[in-house]
């Protein structure tokens, strides 16, 4: 109880300060806004934590119109309910400490030792700071800690294998592993940690003194594979199903995706500005990322360059920024005989 009170005090103390965009809030606040606007974006991290921030923003009345464009942008002047978003992050930061204390007690550490370990987490400046900002790290640490807690409970019930309570903690461990990986790909570290523990446990089951038959061991292996491999993979994939279902409108992430994917987004210029081109036609082709037209002329590349390189001596094709007759390309119906 003392640890919990201290954790709450340290995580909530002046959480409203500063009332401006800080550090990576410029990214993760923006992504939450995109979810609320259902606007497609691209990010290197899996979607779970950002979708949870969007859900929290929806609960506190955030409409997604403020896009966290710059560090230092004022929350108060733009009527952003940023305290609610930071409180959501703080809730995960608060939950880390009692989870850690419980894990230490469950693995056999004394109460004073577990208390000291929990107190170190309470007073860790990095954890306090991360818990007070709109960042992914507290969710990453929480789900990582939850994975460890669930696996400890699963391991404690190894004497009653394949029972309902055993299956409960088996699946709970798998679900928490999916969540930690769904926050950041660095969540693979707790996944690998649990994986090594499971592999060691299976190796112990092979001990001849346990008297397990091949069939019984196969059941143990299959149950763990189902709960700790296939079940987490299914949950992880569901995060992306939700991600793509929510982000249905064209947005800043379009250019990272293939043209067929972009055509599925509502409002994308590929679908709104495209038209069928019949044969024969004369067209110009403009680059999407540079202000140049596809250009060609009669000159050819040299067969041999001064530095010894050899080319095909083909006709020169380049990008040209000006209007020119050599920017015109003729589209003719293909000749099936050629």
If asked whether residues 203 and 130 sit together in one domain, one would say yes
Task: Mark whether 159 and 68 lie in a shared domain.
Answer: yes
For residues 296 and 231, state if they share a domain. no
| pLDDT recorded at residue 208 | 84
Per the domain annotation, does 42 fall within a domain? yes
- Contact assessment for residue 55 and residue 89, using Cβ atoms and an 8 Å cutoff: no
**138: exposed, middle or buried (C-beta count within 10 Å: 0-12, 13-18, 19+)?**
buried
Domain count of the chain? 2
How confident is the model over 112-137, as pLDDT tens digits?
A: 999 999 999 999 999 999 999 999 99
Model confidence at 224, pLDDT cuts 50, 70, 90, reads: very high
> Structure tokens of 131?
């818990």
**Residue 99 falls within a domain, yes or no?**
yes
Do 154 and 296 fall into the same domain?
no
Last residue of a domain, one of 228, 246, 264: 246
pLDDT given for residue 270 in this prediction: 77
Q: What angle do CA 182, 188, 190 make, to 5 degrees?
A: 105
107, 153: one domain: yes
- Within 10 A of 296 (CB to CB), how many other CB atoms are there? 14
Task: Determine, yes or no, domain membership for 337.
Answer: no
pLDDT for 86 equals 98
Handedness of CA 179, 185, 186, 190 (dihedral sign): positive
Residue 266 in domain: no
Would you say residue 183 lies in a domain? Answer: yes
**Taking 80 as the threshold, does the pLDDT of residue 19 lie above it?**
yes
Assess whether 289 and 158 both reside in one domain.
no
Please name which of 170, 145, 142, 144 lies closest in space to residue 155, comparing C-alpha atoms: 170
Its domain, for residue 302, covers 275-331
φ and ψ of 285, to 5 deg: -115, 120
d(CA 237, CA 50): 15
Is there a domain that residue 259 lies in? no
On whether both 90 and 36 belong to a single domain, the answer is yes
Give the model confidence (pLDDT) of 58-113 as tens digits: 999 999 999 999 999 999 999 999 999 999 999 999 999 999 999 999 999 999 99
Is residue 128 located within the same domain as residue 55? yes
**Per-residue model confidence as pLDDT tens digits over 234-246:** 999 999 999 999 9
pLDDT for position 88: 98
**Res 253: pLDDT:** 94
Return the residue matching tokens 């008297």. Answer: 211
* Mean pLDDT within 218-226: 97
Provide the terminal-to-terminal Cα distance of the chain, rounded to the nearest Å.
Answer: 82
Does the residue 264 lie in any domain? no
pLDDT given for residue 260 in this prediction: 87
Q: Is the model's pLDDT at 29 over the cut of 80?
A: yes
pTM for this entry: 0.84
Beta-bridge mates of residue 293: 286, 320
Q: Give 337's DSSP letter.
A: T
Output the pLDDT for position 311: 86
- In this structure, the answer to whether residues 317 and 239 fall within a common structural domain is no
The H or E element containing residue 14 is none
State whether 241 and 310 are in the same domain.
no
Same domain, 153 and 210: yes
Q: Does residue 280 have a cis bond before it (omega within 30 degrees)?
A: yes
Confidence of residue 277 (pLDDT cuts 50, 70, 90): confident
Mean pLDDT of 327-338: 85
* Per-residue model confidence as pLDDT tens digits over 180-193: 999 999 999 999 99
150 plus 207 within the same structural domain: yes
């Amino acid at each position: 109880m003392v640890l919990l009170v201290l954790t709450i005090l340290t995580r909530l103390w002046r959480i409203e300060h500063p009332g401006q965009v800080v550090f990576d809030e410029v990214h993760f606040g923006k992504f939450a806004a995109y979810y609320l606007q259902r606007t497609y974006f691209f990010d290197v991290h899996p979607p779970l934590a950002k979708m949870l921030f969007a859900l929290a923003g929806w609960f506190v009345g955030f409409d997604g119109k403020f896009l966290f464009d710059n560090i230092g942008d004022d929350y108060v002047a733009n009527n952003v309910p940023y305290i609610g978003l930071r409180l959501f992050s703080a809730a995960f930061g608060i939950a880390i400490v009692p989870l850690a204390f419980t894990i230490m007690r469950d693995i056999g550490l004394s109460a004073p030792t577990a208390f000291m370990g929990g107190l170190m987490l309470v007073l860790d400046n990095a954890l306090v700071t991360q818990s007070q900002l709109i960042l992914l790290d507290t969710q990453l640490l929480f789900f990582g800690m939850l994975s460890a807690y669930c696996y400890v409970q699963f391991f404690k019930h190894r004497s009653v294998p394949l029972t309902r309570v055993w299956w409960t903690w088996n699946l709970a461990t798998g679900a928490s592993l999916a969540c930690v990986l769904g926050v950041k790909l660095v969540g693979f570290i707790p996944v690998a940690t649990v994986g090594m523990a499971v592999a060691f446990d299976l190796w112990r089951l092979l001990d001849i003194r346990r008297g397990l038959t091949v069939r019984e061991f196969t059941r143990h292996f299959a149950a763990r594979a189902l709960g700790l491999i296939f079940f987490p993979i299914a949950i992880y994939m569901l995060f992306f199903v939700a991600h793509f279902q929510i982000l249905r409108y064209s947005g800043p992430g379009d250019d990272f995706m293939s043209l067929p994917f972009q055509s599925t987004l509502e409002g994308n210029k590929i679908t709104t500005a495209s038209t069928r081109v019949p044969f024969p036609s004369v067209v110009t082709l403009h680059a999407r990322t540079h202000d140049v037209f596809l250009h060609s002329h009669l000159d050819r590349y040299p067969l041999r360059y001064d530095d010894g390189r050899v080319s095909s001596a083909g006709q020169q094709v380049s990008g040209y920024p000006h209007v020119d007759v050599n920017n015109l390309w003729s589209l003719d119906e293909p000749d099936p005989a050629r």
